[in-house]
């Protein structure tokens, strides 16, 4: 059993990660109690797969990722409105990679110290910091994948629902 907890982004414009991990099931929430999404993933260590859904049945995104000792790769979302993910563990605890394509994606650059991930996704101006930790029996690559998934999920939700200009929080349409 273990937990994954942390924050993507800053105090005002960031998103929490709070998940429990037990017998390969990763369950919890990203974002917050009101503006967040549920996490329902299953990690099969023998097969090296992380599959499931983030965000619920209606507005959620499928997750299908293969995790090896030094890489994680797969897809978040569907065939049309999804993004590929590629992460690689480098010597010295550095994890780099990309989520999405060359134009509509973002770079990932993390330091992974035991089970604490810190670093940045996106550029120096429009990116977000990551600070996520795991306790207990949680494979370290899952921490990196969940951080990237959280950043991607909220990019899509803001794009799909008007971000800060529209949707539930006001703004004329």
Q: What are residue 132's DSSP bridge partners?
A: 6, 117
Contacts of 154 (CB under 8 A, 6+ apart): 8, 15, 30, 31
Q: How far apart are the C-alpha atoms of 75 and 54, rounded to whole Å? A: 12
Q: Give the integer Cα–Cα distance in Å for 24 and 55.
A: 19
19, 4 contact by CB (below 8 A): yes
Evaluate if residue 162 carries a pLDDT over 50.
no
- In angstroms, the CA 57 to CA 50 distance is 18
pLDDT at 46: 95
pLDDT confidence bin for 160, thresholds 50/70/90 = low
Query: Cα(first)–Cα(last) distance of the chain, in Å?
Result: 46
Closest CA to 98 of 118, 80, 116, 71: 71
Looking at the structure, give the CATH architecture of the domain made up of residues 2-163. Answer: Beta Barrel (2.40)
Secondary structure class of 1 (helix, strand, coil): coil
pLDDT tens-digit series, residues 70-115: 999 999 988 888 899 999 999 999 999 999 888 888 999 999 998 8
Q: What is the mean pLDDT of residues 143-172?
A: 65
Per-residue pLDDT tens digits for 7-28: 999 888 889 999 999 999 999 9
pTM for the predicted model, two decimal places: 0.85
Min mean pLDDT across 29-33, 36-40, 95-99 is at 29-33
Under the banding of pLDDT at 50, 70 and 90, the label for residue 171 is very low
Specify the pLDDT at position 124. 79
Could you give the CA distance from residue 129 to residue 8 in angstroms, rounded to a whole number? 6
């Amino acid at each position: 059993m273990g937990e994954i907890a942390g924050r993507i982004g800053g105090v005002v414009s960031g998103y929490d990660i709070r998940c429990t991990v037990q017998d390969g099931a990763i369950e919890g929430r990203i974002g917050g109690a009101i503006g967040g999404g549920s996490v329902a993933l299953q990690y099969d260590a023998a097969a090296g797969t992380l599959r499931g859904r983030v965000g619920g049945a209606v507005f959620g995104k499928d997750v299908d990722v293969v995790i090896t000792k030094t890489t994680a790769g797969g897809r978040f979302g569907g065939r049309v409105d999804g993004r590929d993910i590629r992460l690689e563990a480098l010597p010295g605890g550095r994890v780099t990679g990309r989520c999405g394509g060359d134009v509509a994606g973002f770079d990932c650059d993390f330091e992974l110290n035991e089970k604490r991930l810190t670093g940045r996704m996106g550029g120096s101006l429009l990116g977000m910091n990551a600070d996520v930790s795991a306790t207990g029996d949680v494979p370290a690559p899952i921490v990196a994948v969940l951080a990237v998934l959280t950043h991607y999920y909220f990019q899509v939700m803001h794009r799909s629902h008007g971000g800060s200009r529209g949707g539930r929080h006001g703004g004329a349409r």
